[in-house]
Chains A and B, each alone.
Chain A
Amino acid sequence: MSENPVLWVFILAGITALCTGLGALPFAFLKEISDRTLSRSNALAAGLMLGACFGLLVEGSQEGWWQTVVGANLGVLFVLLTARLLEGREPEAEDLAAANMRQMILIMIVMTVHSAAEGVAVGASFAGGVELAAIITIAIAVHNIPEGIAITAVLRPKGVSIPKSAGLSILSSVPQPLMAVPAYLFVDAMRPALPYALGFAAGAMVLMVLEELLPDAYESGRTVEVAAVVTLALVAMLLFQGLLTA
């Protein structure tokens, strides 16, 4: 892995993108996914991502604690600014299926900005070590599955096939590996930037959990169940990290 780290960063981030396509699979067996199942999926992803942030913050703090805090707040700011920038411009799932080449390029630009934080998280975590990269990859990969479910849920009633829905779901996350590689190269070349980058990834992931995943989970599920799933997933992620670093 150490021989060609750039390739591994691309592969790991590529796995997270491929997992978005897994969101289409349940539709092969079910007509529709219940709100409660979607809520549990979002809660699971939220817990894993929060647990993964623990690893980012610990690793970042060991490199420099105040730099990690600055990076975390920059991550929060970045997600807010990109959301502001993309307000009203974010493509709907059906746009993906019906876009011509010019529209597709525009959609990809928008999605690249939208997915930048996830890509940076994978790239920066790889600079923090293979174990940390594995943890972040798993968390973001699981986070991508409900996104794939949401995209497929919109496309299926319009007659789009399951393989095409899976392909378009994957396409929506392709910017993640594209952003991960430059993020890794930047942090690898500028080692003092590592705590900032790890903090940035943690801040961005926490904000995504708090602004997207948790409200969605609460909206469509039981609060007590959401809280229990998030807590158990977070603890499981902590245990997994303990296992990896033991």
Chain B
Amino acid sequence: MDPTSLLSIAVGAAALAAVASGPIYRLSGSRIRVVMGWSNALAAGLMLGAAFALAFEGWGGGPGLAFGMGALLGLIPGVVSYRIQGDPDLWDGDGGRGAEADARDGADHITDSQTRPYASLVRHALHAAPEGIAIGVAASMNLGLGLFLAGALAIHNIAEGVSLVSATRRAGGSVGAGATRSVASNVPQVALALVTFALLPVLPGMVPVGVGFSVAALVYLSLVDLLPQAYAQAGEKSIAIVTAVAMSTIPLIAGALGI
């Protein structure tokens, strides 16, 4: 199988992982809270680990300015997604402790904008775009690393999907409609992964920029989305353990992939 087809299947599967959000959403409240927390922690650990592997494989101490510029660019989609959504829970000037503080206190495990599924859809799509670029960059460095990252993001996509299904349900929609939106929100991930994978080999000067972009985007998304939710869902200790153990496996993955 040629690399493009393999990557297409992997990224498509990662996007389709959001379908699993439907059945998972039907689990009872306390179980879903812990399962989602651990799932978010696992995804965060693997994404942080993948960011390290990507920095080593794709940059390895090369041109610092290009890497740094890329990293600054990598922060933009995540920051803009919150700006566009205008989530008062995050921008209300009270230290950002709105819904997240409630979630931490156990008021609710779903911290996404609960009554605005379309705002959630836009936000998730903006999240999916840098993830797609990161997969494309990783795959162009090392196909195995790209497939590994697609796997890590598939776990992340399930958790995001549950959040979107929840938002849809609260707005009166069905679980199926929520799952469909979840998959739709990941379309930019598939498209940008393939575009980046195709473009990077013909633009070698952009590699350090792309790597910096991907590293920052993966780290930022893990920290802005996955870990805060995970802490609220399953407590600090278990989340720290799951994330640290997932992250510590990266030398094993890197060794197996020949990085």
Contacts and interface: CB of A to CB of B under 8 A. Distances in A.
A224 B240 contact: no
Interface in B131-184: none
A31 to B, nearest CB: 19
A8 interface: no
B251 A227 contact: no
A215 B231 contact: yes
B52 A54 contact: yes
Interface residues of A, number: 49
Most A CB within 10 A of own CB, among B67, B71, B240: B240
A195 B139 CA distance: 28
Interface stretch (B2-10, B13-21, B25-33, B214-222): B214-222
Interface string A209-230: 0110011001111111111101
Interface string B58-94: 0111101001100100010011001000000011000
Given A206-B248, A224-B82, A238 B215 contact: yes
Given A72-B248, A238-B55, A243-B64, A231 B75 contact: yes
A68 interface: yes
B220 A228 contact: yes
B212 interface: yes
Contact of A76 (B96, B104, B248): B248
B245 A76 contact: yes
Interface string A2-46: 000000000000000000000000000000000110010000000
Contacts of A230: 219, 223
Given A61-B254, A65-B255, A211 B236 contact: yes
Contact of B68 (A72, A224, A239): A239
Contacts of B239: 210
B215 A223 contact: no
Interface residues of B, number: 48
B224 interface: yes
A71 to B, nearest CB: 9
A210 B241 CA distance: 8
B95 A221 contact: yes
A57 B231 contact: no
B248 A199 contact: yes
* Most chain A CB atoms below 10 A, which of B59, B60, B71: B71
Given A65-B252, A218-B231, A242 B212 contact: no
Contact of A242 (B62, B237, B252): B62
Nearest to B49: A57
Nearest to B235: A215
A176 B244 CA distance: 22
B207 interface: no
Contacts of B79: 224, 228
B22 interface: no
Given A238-B55, A241-B61, A243-B64, A65 B95 contact: no
A90 to B, nearest CB: 15
Interface in B223-259: 223-224, 227-228, 231, 236-237, 239-241, 243-245, 247-252, 254-255
A104 interface: no
Contact of A210 (B78, B90, B244, B249): B244
Interface string A110-139: 000000000000000000000000000000
B100 interface: yes
B235 to A, nearest CB: 10
Given A227-B223, A235-B216, 14 more contacts: A57-B251, A72-B251, A76-B241, A76-B248, A80-B237, A207-B240, A215-B236, A222-B95, A231-B216, A235-B68, A238-B55, A242-B60, A242-B67, A243-B61
Interface of B: 48, 52, 55-56, 59-62, 64, 67-68, 71, 75, 78-79, 82, 90-91, 95-96, 100, 104, 212, 215-216, 219-220, 223-224, 227-228, 231, 236-237, 239-241, 243-245, 247-252, 254-255
* Interface pairs A-B: 7 shortest CB-CB: A222-B96, A72-B248, A242-B61, A65-B255, A210-B240, A227-B224, A227-B223
